Amino acid sequence: MAHILLRHRDIENIHELDVYLAHGGYEGLKKALSIQPDEVIEVVKKSGLRGRGGAGFPTGIKWGFIPKGPGEKYVIINTDESETGTFKDRELVEKNPHQVIEGALIAAYAIGARTIYNYFRGEYMDAAYRFEEALKACYERGLLGQNILGSDFSCDFYCHYGAGAYICGEETALINSLMGNLGQPWSKPPFPAIEGLYGKPTVVNNTETLANVPPILVNGPEWYTSMGTEKSPGVKIVCMSGHVERPGNYEVEMGVTYRQLIEMAGGMRNGRKFKALLPSGGSGPVITEEALDAPMTYEGLTPYGSVMGSSSVIVMDETTDMVWAALKMVHFFRHESCGKCTPCREGTFWMEKVLSRIYHGYGTERDLQILESVANQIGGRCLCALGDFAVNPVLSTIRHFFDEYKAKVSGAGQKQQATRETAVATAD
Amino acid sequence: MSDLVTVTIDGVEVTVPQGTLVVDAAKMIDNDIPVFCYHPKLKPVGMCRMCLVEIGVPMRDRATGEVLRNEDGSVRLNFGRGLQTACTVVVSDGMVVRTATQPVKDAREAVIEFLLTSHPLDCPICDKGGECPLQNLTMRYGRGESRFDFSNKILLDKHVPLGELIYLDRQRCIQCARCIRFQDEVVDDPVIDFHNRGRRLEIVTLSEPGFDSYWSGNTTDICPVGALTTADFRFGARPWELTSVASVCTHCPVGCNTTLDTRREAIAGGRSVIKRVMPRQNEWVNEIWICDKGRFVHHYADAPTRLKQPLVRKNGQLVEASWDEALDLVAGKLQQHKTAVAGLAGDRLSNEDLYLFQKLFREGLGSNNIDLANRRLAGGDVVAQVGLASGSNLKELGAGDAVLVVATDLHEEAPVWWLRVKQAAERGAVVVVANLRPTRLDKFATHRLHYAPGEALSTIRQLVNLAKVEMETADSDPLAAAADALIKAKNMVVFYGSEGLTYEETDALARLLANLLLVKNGEGHVGRPNNGLIPVWPHSNTQGAWDMGVHPAFAPGYKPVSEPGLRATDIYAGVADGSLKALFVIGADPVGDGLMADRGQLDFLVVQELFMTKTAELADVVLPAQSWAEREGTFTTGERRVQRYYMAIPPIGDSRPDWQILAQINERVGLGKPAFAASLVFNEIAKVVPQYKGMDYRSLARVEKQWPDVGGEDLYYGGTAHENRSGLGQQWACVAESATVERFDVAEQPVIARDGLQLVRVAALYTSGTLIEQSPVLHHRMARPTIQLAHADATALGLADDDRAEVTVNSVTYETAVRVNEQVPAGLVLLSGVPYIAGLTTAQIRKLETAVAQPTGD
Ligand SMILES: Cc1cc2nc3c(=O)[nH]c(=O)nc-3n(C[C@H](O)[C@H](O)[C@H](O)COP(=O)(O)O)c2cc1C
Ligand code: SF4
Ligand code: SF4
Ligand code: SF4
Ligand code: FES
């Protein structure tokens, strides 16, 4: 099947405007401009497209929240992509940039915005050069700027490069960062759709979400809903990493099972046995063998206490020390905590210290209790979702791999550092 | 839809205005939800997570909107997925809040436990210990024992100066951002911010000099831990050792309510001294804020240079004398020169002092030769007619109202008024500024009228003439647009000052502005709360001086005298030419201020003072007075609120309160037994001054419950500003509240043609003066003499930014810094950091070629 999102894999040089145009590029925008903005929103609603940034909020409904009428509005593309094991947006902006631009333009037209920002992960400089070239081509051909394609619709496009903070992928932190403020989220409400960038209504969409929009406009919502499942229609890019033979991005219809995904990625590396996987980078709870036949949809992992999220699948084989894995994740979240709210700022730090002590073989039963208790004191009590993310790897590994923790605190594990006190993770 | 909402909090129903936050609704029924980051004067941010509670809202049928009910008929509630922050959730009808359940208790305990994992717990040496929200809430909600068994909690700098006034202890900071938000939202000085992230989040200053704001001290009040401390109080005392005494700030006409926290000090020989000045809540005056001048200038009260003993000149030398000797001499000399005496007072004295001072002259000596030594601003008599009506609160001004601010820089002259006008603007009030040049208020103004030098009065006259009730739709003329906006306002408050104006010009200005207020439109803009005129007096009790009749033409209560006495300018002339023989100067330094060259041909000069001023050095008798902190009294603010202050520390040396010294002189000139308490003098004032009728020290001490709760048990909520237990004061009613006031006749001023660069002295909050000089903490911040002018004017004079210049005005020469500032209109030179200069003048300005090292202020 031809790719819908990763079209560059089928068509060489589609990042060049001419090539993109020769293959139906900007037809979605033309279609959109030929109908009323409200009708565009209606089409996207009907397609059932949901946010690919992780939370899965229905895209059309999000656009519909934007107040009608005059006044400044903004579209922001979220290319911060800093979740562990996530690399799908990078491929899109680098290899198929026009599809993202086109999607954003359609969004801007639909909500009445005249300005689009793309917030890049700062490390994506190479991808960004490609993307900026694409923008330049658009300006030269009247696809950006005044009276796009001869219509009344005018729109400008700016790129902004983050300075290396995972939290700046959270939409309100992203907006703060874009405005030159400290990259910290704010407590919602107000939601960006009402008070976003510079206090104006703003749509923040993931890069992949927007890349889905042009084909939906061209082929119609029914075409889109014919793929995937009823509640999770369409296609999705899955980032496969970890102990598989062929890590990388895979474009699939929603609803494939995790087992199929592993097969698609060439199966377990070196033929080792599967142990667990993280379905949503570091931020979702781990799942085990029992959940491998669950469909990859927004709801598929609910019975197993996990989520699809941004579908960044990190696969772990039998050799993986799960306490080590949890420590890795917690280290990441502690490092990325913005520090705005108490439980996440202090709790991630504490979790890392205790976990490190346990991992290094100096932990006790009491440490294990404290670890679980601290995790529970963070979960559900933070200002943004990062706090919950940080807890997921801990609580889910405790749930599924309690034995491994037990072994560590019973002294069976190897003592890995000199003293109990120094058995803490090095700060940064 | 009604604008009230009823919610149930722990079973108690409460009805509150729509938009109220859950945390505040709970507070109103004394249900204390603990908070750290929330502060009732700041926008909620939901950061600290201390206020988590269970919040349920009625479930409704999606289709019909009907409230769903359980089988037993009770409303079905949706409590959401978890706890919610009470500080960010707005009440809605039927909401049910639970604050005492196990999950809520657990959440509170957890937040405390988390905070303590990075807290140094140096309570035993922490300034906040004893009045610390973190300490108090830990005692109340903490688990009492730590599970964080690592010894390397956190190691961060503990003495980080954010400037010379405020120090940061990074370990103690709990990252609540109250300080950052206060500086940004409340006072628009966003000079501090967070840096870094996670546990490394730290407060940094973004300004040079550090923490460059007139409001910095307030952050130490609202900081919920001892992370922010003031340079002069840190490690100075424990809060529980302090005795708190209510007071009033003496530095500007706002009259902020303060508290003097005092303690007996070994280094002061066991005397009680002022350890710090804190704001005292008065929502009518200063809410819970004070400016840094009010907070830090108090050190003069303890200055070693204070006068301690009466001094009498013998053989050309001032030598110590007994009170009786000095007072006898003063009374005798004044009586001896009865026909050629005069009195000059300062306007920082209390009403009691000022009243007895004029009584000495009018009743004891039969003279009306009495005036303020340094009079700048006229119009007290106009204010008595159309001043801000009693019952006014600037906090109530908002959309539909208007504020006009003329010839003053409120931010420098009366900071809290600037704040209140700024906030009125933010609530939607029309703010019109009229001045020679832009000031900080311009940013918040809806209309900015910058008149040319010499055109202040003609501009305001035009504005008044344009302000007709039946205005045509506002045309493009900015003056007409401003007049239209003002006259159509529901309420109008007018501030006026003296920048660039002479005393006589301010008199005309006051009358013109009165006429603006008197333009009939609907209910009019006089005699109703939140309407009327506010003079931006130069000092804290200029209003009281007018009320008490320290004026050659008005006896107490604005009674015109039949034969007006000499005005200050005439008195200075009389001193020089010998027509005056005896002069009594109280609380003023005319020689130091350049108003009086020397003692001229006086036979007798008596000075009553705190310090050996330039004038005192020339005196025959120097009477040592007590500072405001050592005695009680009343001041009257520019909003005509009479406020009491109390005795906080024992007198220095043998000094006496001004009123008592005067009463003892009065006795000696035959005015009967002296009153033995300030309150009794006030009772006499209340009899003599009709405006003060019905007031006494008890009525002035009346308080009422104010919102929000601060101080005491509530310090985690509102900060350590003190609760007001000692009096909100009373505003006296102007004539327009009970009678019709006629328009004032204002003679047309001749427009004087002005050639060349015009120099105007502009105010700076920290300008050198008798009192501020005695407070070393502020020395780095003192306004140095500086001129500011536009680029073209500077170039014409051969000046560039950062040059030094020599500026001669009225035959006084200053060495100044030079700032080229495009905001300054062409043709104008702003001179700041020097004593007051009336009106516009010309000046000789010369570049100083020799590179002079910048004074560091040490
Ligand atoms: C800590 C955190 C990090 C996030 N990082 C990203 C990200 O890198 N990219 C992204 O698209 N969304 C990210 N999100 C989700 C965004 O907040 C937001 O929901 C999303 O951009 C909305 O776009 P969508 O509706 O198209 O998914 C993050 C959320 C959180 C809480
Ligand atoms: S949960 Fe963590 S990342 Fe999110 S606001 Fe709180 S401290 Fe910042
Ligand atoms: S210094 Fe104080 S007020 Fe400022 S963030 Fe830290 S704890 Fe809060
Ligand atoms: S605003 Fe005026 S009255 Fe208030 S503290 Fe400052 S100087 Fe004192
Ligand atoms: S989160 Fe509500 S008080 Fe801090």
- Tens of pLDDT, residue by residue over B14-40, are 999 999 999 999 999 999 999 999 999
- B114/chain A closest Cα distance in angstroms: 6
Confidence of residue A44 (pLDDT cuts 50, 70, 90): very high
Q: Percent of chain A beyond pLDDT 90?
A: 95
Looking at the predicted structure, is the pLDDT value of residue A420 above 90?
A: no
Q: Are strands B730-731 and B828-832 parallel, antiparallel or unpaired?
A: unpaired
A30–chain B Cβ distance below 8 A for any pair: no
H-state helical runs in B160-298 = 178-181, 217-222, 292-296
Which tens digit of pLDDT belongs to each residue from B689-719?
999 999 999 999 999 999 998 887 778 888 8
Which tens digit of pLDDT belongs to each residue from A98-115?
999 999 999 999 999 999
Interval B364-389 mean pLDDT: 97
Q: Would the CB of B294 count as within 6 Å of ligand 4?
A: yes
Q: Report how far apart, in Å, the C-alpha atoms of B725 and of each of A262, B253, B713, B728 are.
A: 73, 22, 14, 9
The residue whose CA is least distant from atom 2 of ligand 3 is B223
pLDDT at B268: 86
- The answer to whether position B710 is within a domain reads no
H-state helical runs in B183-266 = 217-222
Interval B502-523 mean pLDDT: 93
Amino acid at B779: H
The residue whose CA is least distant from atom 1 of ligand 2 is A387
| Complex confidence, ipTM | 0.93
Answer yes or no: do B322 and B407 share one domain.
no
Q: Percent of chain B beyond pLDDT 70?
A: 98
Amino acid at A122: G
Comparing CA positions, the residue from A112, A115, A29 lying closest to residue A63 is A112
Q: Which residue in A187, A336, A424 is closest to B85 by CB distance? A: A187
Looking at the predicted structure, is the pLDDT value of residue B851 above 70?
A: no
pLDDT at B522: 73
Q: Where are the beta strands (DSSP E) in B579-620?
A: 582-586, 604-609
- The answer to whether position B712 is within a domain reads no
C-beta atoms of B46 and A383 within 8 A: yes
Answer yes or no: do B597 and B687 share one domain.
yes
Answer yes or no: do B518 and B618 share one domain.
no
Q: Which residue in B88, B117, B151 is closest to A350 by CB distance? A: B117
- Residues 322-341 on A with a CB inside 8 Å of B are 334-341
Answer yes or no: do B339 and B224 share one domain.
no
Which tens digit of pLDDT belongs to each residue from B568-625?
999 999 999 999 999 999 999 999 988 999 999 999 999 999 999 999 999 999 999 9
Domain that holds residue B91: 4-100
Q: Percent of chain B beyond pLDDT 90?
A: 87
- The answer to whether position B702 is within a domain reads no
Q: What is the mean pLDDT of chain B?
A: 94
Sheet-wide strand order for A287-288: A248-253, A235-242, A312-317, A274-282, A287-288
C-beta atoms of B82 and A341 within 8 A: no
Give distance in angstroms: CA of B249 to centre of ligand 4.
6
Answer yes or no: do B494 and B414 share one domain.
yes
Which tens digit of pLDDT belongs to each residue from B612-664?
999 999 999 999 999 999 999 999 999 999 999 999 999 999 999 999 999 99
Task: Out of A53-67, B485-499, B522-536, B841-855, pick the least confident.
Answer: B841-855
Specify the residue for token string 């420098």: B412
Answer yes or no: do B161 and B90 share one domain.
no
The residues lining ligand 2, judged by C-beta closer than 6 Å to any ligand atom, are A 167, 185, 337-341, 344-345, 382-384, 386-387
- The answer to whether position B635 is within a domain reads yes
Give distance in angstroms: CA of B289 to centre of ligand 4.
9
Which tens digit of pLDDT belongs to each residue from B531-548?
999 999 999 999 999 999
Q: Encoding tokens for residue B132?
A: 């610390």
Answer yes or no: do B214 and B327 share one domain.
no
Give distance in angstroms: CA of B59 to centre of ligand 1.
30
B193–chain A Cβ distance below 8 A for any pair: yes
Integer Cα distance of B698 and B223 in angstroms: 34
Which numbered atom of ligand 4 lies nearest the CA of B252? 2
Interval A236-259 mean pLDDT: 98
pLDDT at B750: 76
pLDDT at B858: 44
H or E stretch covering B517: helix B503-518
List the single residue in A with minimal CA-CA distance to B36: A342
Interval A397-407 mean pLDDT: 96
The ligand that comes nearest to the alpha carbon of residue B37 is: 5
Looking at the predicted structure, is the pLDDT value of residue B364 above 70?
A: yes
C-beta atoms of B147 and A346 within 8 A: no
- Residues 114-143 on B with a CB inside 8 Å of A are 114-115, 117-118
Integer Cα distance of A32 and A50 in angstroms: 19
- Give this prediction's pTM: 0.95
Confidence of residue A421 (pLDDT cuts 50, 70, 90): very low
List the single residue in B with minimal CA-CA distance to A384: B47
* Boundary-marking domain end, from B535, B561, B577: B535
Comparing CA positions, the residue from B441, B359, B416, B400 lying closest to residue B667 is B359
Q: Which residue in A184, A342, A350 is closest to B49 by CB distance? A: A342
Looking at the predicted structure, is the pLDDT value of residue A424 above 70?
A: no
Question: Distance from CA of residue B175 to its chain's centroid?
Answer: 29
Answer yes or no: do B292 and B317 share one domain.
no
Which tens digit of pLDDT belongs to each residue from B294-320?
999 998 888 889 999 999 999 999 999
Looking at the predicted structure, is the pLDDT value of residue A423 above 60?
A: no
Comparing CA positions, the residue from A147, A154, A88, A80 lying closest to residue A116 is A154
User: Of the residues A176, A182, A338, A388, which should be mutated to test ligand 2's pocket, given the most ligand atoms within 8 Å of the CB?
Assistant: A338
Q: Would the CB of B414 count as within 6 Å of ligand 4?
A: yes
- Spatial contact of B426 and B444, defined as CB atoms under 8 Å apart: yes
Answer yes or no: do B447 and B395 share one domain.
yes
Give distance in angstroms: CA of B766 to centre of ligand 4.
12
Does residue B855 have a cis peptide bond before it, meaning omega lies within 30 degrees of 0? Answer: no
For A152, other C-beta atoms within 10 Å of its C-beta total: 9
pLDDT at B476: 75
Q: What is the mean pLDDT of chain A?
A: 95
- The answer to whether position B720 is within a domain reads no
Instruction: Sort out which chain B residues have CB atoms less than 8 A from A356's CB and list them.
Output: none
Integer Cα distance of B38 and B716 in angstroms: 9
- B198/chain A closest Cα distance in angstroms: 4
Q: Report how far apart, in Å, the C-alpha atoms of A345 and of each of A335, B48, B155 are.
A: 9, 10, 16
Which numbered atom of ligand 3 lies nearest the CA of B222? 3
- Spatial contact of B166 and B229, defined as CB atoms under 8 Å apart: yes
* Boundary-marking domain end, from B276, B301, B326: B301
Answer yes or no: do B229 and B330 share one domain.
no
- Residues with Cβ < 8 Å from B379, sequence gap 6 or more? B496, B506, B507, B509, B510, B511, B533, B535
Q: What is the number of structural domains in chain B? A: 5
Q: Report how far apart, in Å, the C-alpha atoms of A8 and of each of A11, A91, B703 are.
A: 5, 9, 76
Which tens digit of pLDDT belongs to each residue from A308-358?
999 999 999 999 999 999 999 999 999 999 999 999 999 999 999 999 999
Q: What is the DSSP letter of B533?
A: E
C-beta atoms of A337 and B147 within 8 A: no
* Boundary-marking domain end, from B301, B327, B361: B301
- The answer to whether position B700 is within a domain reads no
Integer Cα distance of B620 and B638 in angstroms: 35
pLDDT at B302: 83
Give distance in angstroms: CA of B227 to centre of ligand 3.
6
B414: domain CATH number is 3.40.228.10
Can you tell me whether residue A160 is helix, strand or coil? strand
Answer yes or no: do B674 and B654 share one domain.
yes
B784: domain CATH number is 2.40.40.20
- The answer to whether position B718 is within a domain reads no
B204: domain CATH number is 3.30.70.20
Q: Between A and B, how many residue pairs show a Cβ–Cβ distance under 8 A? A: 99
Amino acid at A156: D
- B146/chain A closest Cα distance in angstroms: 11
Instruction: Sort out which chain A residues have CB atoms less than 8 A from B118's CB and list them.
Output: 346, 349
pLDDT at B267: 85
CA angle B694, B698, B699 (to 5 degrees): 45
B49–chain A Cβ distance below 8 A for any pair: yes
B604: domain CATH number is 3.40.50.740
Looking at the predicted structure, is the pLDDT value of residue B853 above 80?
A: no
Q: CA-based Rg of chain B, rounded to a whole angstrom?
A: 29
H or E stretch covering B493: strand B492-496
Which tens digit of pLDDT belongs to each residue from B444-469?
999 999 999 999 999 999 999 998 76
pLDDT at A418: 45
Instruction: Sort out which chain A residues have CB atoms less than 8 A from B19's CB and list them.
Output: none
Amino acid at B444: F
Looking at the predicted structure, is the pLDDT value of residue A414 above 60?
A: no
Answer yes or no: do B631 and B680 share one domain.
yes
Give distance in angstroms: CA of A57 to centre of ligand 3.
36
- The answer to whether position B74 is within a domain reads yes
Comparing CA positions, the residue from A6, A60, A2 lying closest to residue A208 is A6
Instruction: Sort out which chain B residues have CB atoms less than 8 A from A186's CB and list them.
Output: 45
Give distance in angstroms: CA of B106 to centre of ligand 3.
24
H or E stretch covering B457: helix B456-466
Comparing CA positions, the residue from B587, B610, B654, B667 lying closest to residue B321 is B654
Integer Cα distance of B484 and B469 in angstroms: 8
Specify the residue for token string 């709210």: A341
pLDDT at A324: 96
